[in-house]
Amino acid sequence: MIALDTNVVVRFLVRDDEKQALCVYKRFKLAEKNRKQLFIPQTVLLETLWVLESAYKLSREEILDSLEALNQMPIIEFESDYVLDQMIVTARNTRQDLSDILIGYASENAGCNSVLTFDKKASKLPMFELLR
């Protein structure tokens, strides 16, 4: 299996560089033709969230819709479907930061009891514990 870097995922989603977007599209088509999957690690997902929010100023809904569309592609395998699914559901029902939600579910999925934080807003999420 081949993993994707953040810049490949972002290029596919925002298509701001036609040459690179076409290159990604061709690689996706090749994976589809050969019935191969492309892997998106959790760290790439986290970085993608940050890039789409801060650099591209995409709305929360645009980001979540894009992630759901990616997750529905048979050639794409996320590190944890559970983490992605839970993050999307929670993000649609709260105004918490997307990255904090992802960190919480990734930690839970890894068997952690909580995430220690100084972030008062993040501490409102079930997995987080405010460190005082």
The tens place of each residue's pLDDT in the chain, 132 residues long, gives: 999 999 999 999 999 999 999 999 999 999 999 999 999 999 999 999 999 999 999 999 999 999 999 999 999 999 999 999 999 999 999 999 999 999 999 999 999 999 999 999 999 999 999 999
Number of domains in the chain: 2
Same domain, 56 and 105: no
Same domain, 73 and 119: no
Nearest to 9 by CA among 57, 77, 59: 77
Q: Would you give the DSSP letter of residue 115?
A: E
**Residues spanned by the domain of 67:** 1-79
Neighbours of 19 (CB within 10 A): 7
Same domain, 103 and 54: no
Residue 84 lies in a domain: no
Same domain, 72 and 13: yes
Q: Say what the pTM is.
A: 0.91
Same domain, 54 and 95: no
